[in-house]
Structure 1
Amino acid sequence: MTGQLPFPRHAARTQRFTLGAPRDISLAPDGTRVVFLRSPSGTDRSHCLQVLDPGSGKEFTAADPRALLAGAEEELPPEERARRERTREGSGGIVGYAVDAAVELAAFTLSGRLFVSELRAGTTRELPATGPVVDPRPSPDGRHIAYVAGGALRVIAADGAPADGANAPAPQDRPLAEPDAPHVTWGLAEFIAAEEMSRYRGFWWSPESDRLLAARVDDSPVARWWIADPAHPDREPARVAYPAAGTANAEVTLALFGLDGSRTDVIWDTARYPYLARVHWSAAGPPLLLVQTRDQRAQRYLAVDTATGATTLVHEDEDPVWVEPYPGVPAWTPDGRLVRIADEGGVRKLFAGDRPLTGAPLHVRAVLDIGEEDILFSASGPETHDIGVYRAWFRGSGDQGGWQRVGGRPSPTVTSAVRSGGLAVLTQASLEWPGTRTEVVRPGPDGEAEVVAVLGSYAETPGLTPRPRLVRAGEREIPCAVLLPAGYTEGDGPLPVLMDPYGGPHGQRVVAARNAHLTSQWFADQGFAVVVADGRGTPGRSPGWEKAVSRRLGPVALEDQVAALHALAESFPLDLSRVAIRGWSFGGYLAALAALRRPDVFHAAVVGAPVTDLRLYDTHYQERYLGHPEEEPAVYALNSLVTDEGLSGAAEPHRPMLIVHGLADDNVVVAHSLRLSSALLAAGRPHEVLPLSGVTHMASQEQVAENLLLLQADFLKRSLGLA
């Protein structure tokens, strides 16, 4: 029945058809258990903890949140709400878990309460932890659970046993590190780390399970902002620490804590390298840190002496534009070589020690697993829309120095993987089928993969089938997807155009995955030729492509949207007299920029949650691309929409603009849209503003997500004069 719903409602109810699909997969090293999360249906937002036996194909539920909460509604502590906003998590139930080294014990939270699951038996119980609990993680040996509560890093026995024998009055739950000043927390990632560095955690167990490395965050230097809910004037505004460009960041340091109560502070040059981007601790070597300078033109890989806390330099990267942290690195190979991803000779490569393991045409994206002889990683191939899983050898007899694609399905695909114990779990999307397929495979020496088991999916099938044409446009060969209405024939004449980009850093839209193009196809079926263009600044192609936006973030992105549009008009039925653009976040910024500075090309814009005054966005992101605003004010003025210089670039005639923003957004605060509206009003430029009460940057509420699509389509048709 749900499959008959109109697409906007169907997409909203299924969270863009992701509910019911396996996610967050762990694989036991003995190959007998695959652990994952999945909701019971394609419209249920509450995820359960599942276990699959690859040998028998049998699957069971280890933890059902509804049963554990006895049907009560989940209540999230503020720290958990913030964590979910940073990870863009819109679901409920068990949305994350952590396991021990053997993948026999899992820990997770519900309503700030701590639960552990015995994954062999499939039993779950609550531990009497001090709450509300955030980010629980078992020790590698499975005997303890570390977690954060009230800004303190705490540890509790995994079996709930008393501290001093059976007659002790309380279970073994005690703090290892407690806040020593206002605005200090232990064991949590600060805003910048979670929002911009993809570091979502703040503590790490030792391989021997006897110590923890924990981050101390002092955000007292950070400016305080207020996020109010104008729809509820009786409610006190939320006070948040927001490090806007050019202002102070939180101070982040590290310390080692022993379960015996010992403490050793970790020392590095935090004045020169204030950003803690990555931490890695494995049995293959001492703890590894990746720290960056504030201007992000240099980063150091440091090894920690666990006896003294001193750090030694292992490697240093420098770049005249910027350096970048990548998923899965740094790490050690079993024989003690540093694994890293770095740019060399115009190519993003995988390194073991000083030796590059890959080269062109691969563009390495992330390290997924490090084995005894090889490294599993993801990379773009010769075509940026084809994202595969590969293995490269750092030692061993055959294929030394080469790489090999893993997986049995023909490319192009978008593939991710986890690997352990001779097995791998591949999750693959393609233009050939809806959603994703998740298979447990046994990789062979030739790159082929024998399918051992399949993880079932309850994700619903969309009622429409995207038909993107993936092409390269213009002299710069900009990757594009072009989507025409279902049933369109050449005799129907040219179509009004909707540019549908993200168009900026860390946001690739042109990929070989059917569901990635669903919304664009729906807009096409409303009577548009939809164009998605990944111009310079977007990931997956080359370091030079990504870094071409330095100091000219907006102008370069806009240039490539215009170039792609005009190049595609030579081979597709595009009516260049009726061109609109829509986008969210960076895409919203780009849409506003297009309507203001190129009204000769664009005739209407939907501007969603845009960054308009670039001085109001955060330090790590904005200073990477534009520098420090006090040192390069002209750069900020050029790229912003609401400065005198920014608006002076606006050209005639005025173009219709719909500005949409969530009032509860703590990432791109609503001040951006309000300042844009005020500037447009002062300049006499007509526009519409749609405020979304109680909505954050995700806009994941079902009714909001559904009606946003409908309202955008109505605005675009009105603005372009369509029936």
Structure 2
Amino acid sequence: MTDSFPRQHARTQRFSLGDPRNVSVSPDGNRVVFLRSSAGDDPVNALWVMDLPSGEERLVADPRKLLGLADPAAGELTDEERARRERTRDGSSGITAYATDADCKVVSFALNGRLFAAGLLSGQARPIPVDGPVFDPRPDPTASRLAYVSGRELRIGELDGSSRVLAGNDPKEASTVSWGSADFIAAEEMHRFRGFWWSPDGRTIAACRVDDAPVAEWTIANPGDPSAAARTVRYPAAGTDNPIVTLHLLGLDGSRIDVDWDREFFPYIARVEWTEHGLVFSAQSRDQRGSMVVRVDTTTGEGEVIASDYDDAWIENVPGVPTMLPTGQLLTASDRDGMRQLFVDDEPVTPGDLQVRSVIAATPATPADDDDCDIFFLANDPDEPTELHVWSTTLSGEAGRLTEAAGVHAAAIGGSTIVVRSATLERPGATTTVLVDGLFDGPVIASHAETPDIDVNVTLLRAGERDLATALLLPHGFDPERGEKLPVLMDPYGGPHAQRVTSAHNAYLTSQWFADQGFAVIVSDGRGTPGRGPAWERDVRHDLANPPLADQVDALHAVAEQHDVVDLDRVAIRGWSFGGYLAALAVLDRPDVFHAAIAGAPVTEWRLYDTHYTERYLGDPTLTGPDEGAAVYDANSLLPRAAKLTRPLLLVHGLADDNVVAAHTLQLSSALLAAGRPHEVLPLVGVTHMTPQEVVAENLLLHQLDFLSRSLGLDLGGSQT
């Protein structure tokens, strides 16, 4: 008997298991390193290397053998590793992260708090018995030793197993101080997951010192186990104090130099890079309207501003920049002339009609030219936001697209080797292809991901006067010619930094399952979502409620006009995180349009969400005035709207969530109860912002289907498979 789709979807962690991930390429282009589990339902990642040009794959490190455990996931994780996986939304186990030396010949990783190293040429891995627990181990560029985080300490480990503290054991420092780790805001919102960087000669480390003392303590309890101690976390809610983050140069000889910059005005450290061309970092102001790139004098710690940017709304942190090019010039990204572009020495090097999404790498020019280099980046045409392509450009701005098929592409690059991961609408999953010297028929890295038991029946279209990128999914076997109308399920995310409408098959699997139960499912990306240009993203400034909701309504009505299969008298909406906020908002503000909603882990009161994200869009809640501060936050909160609820609403929340804490749902539920408004609450015990637990993930889908059936008065005769 085959699994139902909800079971297969949960068992395979949304069909992500068994697929190659965390791909990197050696600088000489001869080795491709990656993680992969052995099957589509195996969560335990092992470390692999592919030798080029032969394309032979070799297993370098198997966690089960290294730990002597049949289930490495059963081992104890450090608090830092557990937090890192939550920030990266990683539900797998085994080797989930690794680091290499400069030549990509030696690799290090942590397993259950223990340190391991492997030679990528020999293919041999071994434990290194240093003092632990070990988190984020990284070889120095010369592969002579390693550095790692252990609790509050940054430590140096030698290959013979000896280790010593580099920073973090000063008895004068408070217990709130840690060295070498990324703080919550950096990891959750700036996607900076590390807190230390080796110098090219391996003699010094640039390290972040984080003092959480100013940050308010919040308590996350486990109501399912009254005997379990509550967990205390430091959570920087909007308008409150952030941690104090400073940068320091730590010599292996025991020296310490404090890096000096205008930290009071630019407190956020968004990115740090140390190459042969110097140590640079980008800093951002608290209101995120200003940013600067600072070059550090590594003998004095003095910071020199070498680039700056300002925006009336906010500066977007673009992954991969700023970075020093092989030529020694600085590559930055900025929103100018209505588009996000790359700049070298303040001159654009990317086409003005492309929206740059991230920088992949910069390599010496091919053919060799000491005065030029090749810059690889991801970008999309704002007129086709459902696609994402790999591009390259030179210092003279000679740009070209490397990927052709309509789809969502990503890449890793080293030397003349490019590894491209491509997902399209035409086939499930993704294909990871190695291109050597520009050849497009190179070896393919095998994927063990399972093939979904359902196919998607999706139509991509543009909806409404704003040409909203929209997907319509209908049940398999449904014949529009019969004149039958289907109940509607809107299935958006609808907010910043995430797209739901893409040219990728697996993006629609859950939506298709709901469609096959008897719905017309509509997925639409409105204002605030990425890919349509800076102005589109900034349309939600100070208003995360009205533009996103108006666009969902417009998409619904536009689809109804184009496809005479939509029953506007039976419309539901579901979403998670920002999508949960949008779903609850829909039945509160537009009950004339939406007849039921499922809100998963919704942000209901923006004062309870973190500083960096919330203040970027809504400003500082402590200000006063009709167009700022408290007035803006009140206008975007769901709590004052509670008395307006007249439609069925299901609130779902993981009680262990430390990102969107359960207080969001509990406070809205309390306000609804006080207003006499019936609703349903589904608490998920032990579940965080993710739902990686197989049984929970499976039955959560089934429960949502039951709620929709009851709320819309449907007799869903679907197979639920």
- 2:392 is matched with 391
Q: Counterparts of 2:222 and 2:25 in 1: how far apart (Å)?
A: 43
Say which of 512, 515, 520 aligns to 1:524: 515
1:535 aligned residue:
526
1:366 and 1:662 map into 2 onto residues whose CA distance is 31
* Aligned partner of 1:401 among 394, 397, 416: 397
- Structure-1 separation of matches of 2:228 and 2:234: 19
CA distance in 1, matches of 2:324, 2:350: 17
Aligned counterparts of 2:103 and 2:456: Cα–Cα separation in 1: 42
The worse-fitting range, judged by mean Cα deviation, of 564-573 and 689-698 is: 564-573
Distance 1:183 1:466 in 2: 50
Is the Cα–Cα contact under 8 Å of residues 131 and 163 in structure 2 kept in the other structure?
no
Report deviation, 1:172.
4.4
- Pick one of 620, 632, 637 that aligns with 1:635: 632
Paired residues for 1:693-708 under 5 Å: 693-708=685-700
* Aligned match of 1:249: 242
How much does 1:55 deviate? Answer: 2.0
Using the size of structure 2 for normalisation, the TM-score is 0.95
The match for 1:45 is: 43
Alignment-derived partner of residue 668 in structure 1: 660
Structure 2 match to 1:426:
420
Q: 2:193 aligns with which of 186, 200, 207?
A: 200
Provide the residue aligned with 1:374 in structure 2. Answer: 374
| Alignment partners' CA distance in 1, 2:236 and 2:531 | 29
Pair 1:588 & 2:589 matched: no
Quote the Cα distance in structure 1 between the aligned partners of 2:352 and 2:427. Answer: 29
The whole-number CA distance in structure 2 between the counterparts of 1:322 and 1:296 is 5
1:476-555 alignment, distance < 5 Å: 476-490=466-480, 491-555=482-546
Checking the alignment, whether the CA contact within 8 Å between 2:166 and 2:250 is kept in structure 1 is: no
Shift in Å at residue 174 of structure 1?
3.8
- 1:30 maps to 28
Instruction: Report the alpha carbon displacement of residue 699 of structure 1 after superposing the two structures with TM.
Output: 1.1
Partner residue in 1 for 2:450: 460
CA distance in 1, matches of 2:391, 2:518: 40
Distance 1:492 1:60 in 2: 57
Mapping for residues 132-147 of structure 1, pairs under 5 Å: 132-147=133-148
Please state how far the C-alpha of 1:54 moved relative to its aligned partner: 2.4
TM-score under structure 1 length normalisation: 0.95
Alignment of 1:565-644 (within 5 A): 565-572=556-563, 573-631=565-623, 632-642=629-639, 644=640
Q: Which amino acid aligns with 1:379?
A: A
The answer to whether structure 1 residue 154 and structure 2 residue 155 are counterparts is: yes
4+ long deviations beyond 6 Å: none
1:492 shift after superposition: 4.7
How far apart in 1 are the matches of 2:650 and 2:234? 30
User: What's the counterpart of residue 164 of structure 1?
Assistant: none
Q: Is the 8 A contact 1:347 1:359 kept in 2?
A: no
Q: Tell me the distance in 2 between the aligned counterparts of 1:634 and 1:592.
A: 20
Aligned to 2:367: none
After superposition, residues 53-452 of structure 1 pair within 5 angstroms as 53-71=51-69, 73-157=74-158, 159-160=159-160, 171-178=162-169, 180-283=173-276, 285-372=277-364, 373-381=373-381, 382-394=383-395, 400-407=396-403, 410-442=404-436, 444=438, 449-452=439-442
Residues 278-310 of structure 1 deviation map (CA, whole Å, 9 limit, x = unaligned): 111112x22111111111111111111101000
1:598 deviation in Å?
A: 0.3
Shift of 1:717: 1.3
Q: Distance in 2 between matches of 1:330 and 1:680?
A: 47
8 Å contact kept, 1:176–1:261 = no
Q: Is the 1:178–1:185 Cα contact (8 Å) retained in structure 2?
A: no
Which residue type is aligned with residue 412 of structure 1?
A: A
| C-alpha displacement of 1:340 | 1.1
Cα-to-partner distance string for 1:220-257 (whole Å, 9 max, x where unaligned): 00000000000111111000000111111000000001
1:138-160 deviation digits (Å, cap 9, x = unpaired): 11111111100021111112x21
Q: Cα distance, 1:360 vs. partner?
A: 3.5
Q: Distance in 2 between matches of 1:603 and 1:207?
A: 60
**What is the SS of the residue equivalent to 2:664?**
helix
For residues 172 and 14 of structure 1, the distance between their equivalents in structure 2, rounded to whole angstroms, comes to 39
Counterpart amino acid of 2:280? L
Q: Say if 2:53 and 2:436, in contact at 8 Å, map to a contact too.
A: no
Deviations 1:380-400 (A, max 9, x none): 124001100000111xxxxx3
Letter in 2 for 1:419: I
Counterpart secondary structure, 1:570: helix
Per the TM alignment, residue 451 of structure 1 is displaced from its structure 2 partner at its CA by 2.6
Q: Which residue of 2 aligns with 1:167?
A: none
Alignment identity in percent?
54
Distance 1:500 1:288 in 2: 42
Q: Secondary structure at the match of 1:434?
A: coil
Pairwise CA distance, 1:176: 4.1
Deviation at 1:472, TM superposition (A): 1.1
- Secondary structure in structure 2 of the residue aligned to 1:281: strand
User: Contact (CA 8 Å) 1:346, 1:544: kept in 2 or not?
Assistant: yes
Confirm or deny: 8 A CA contact 2:571 2:594 kept in the other structure.
yes
Deviation string 1:540-585 (CA, Å, 9 cap, x unpaired) is 1100001100001111111111111111110122111000000000
Distance in 1 separating the partners of 2:97 and 2:657: 23
The one-letter amino acid paired with 1:474 is G
Aligned to 1:166: none
Q: 3-state SS of the aligned residue for 2:440?
A: strand
Q: Structure 2 stretches of 5 or more lacking a match?
A: 365-372, 624-628, 716-721
Show CA shifts across 1:643-691 (max 9, x none). x3x446x36xx10011100010011111110111111111111111100
Q: For the residues of structure 1 that align with 2:232 and 2:165, how far apart are their CA atoms?
A: 29
**Aligned partner of 2:378: which letter?**
S
Q: Is the 8 A contact 2:319 2:359 kept in 1?
A: yes
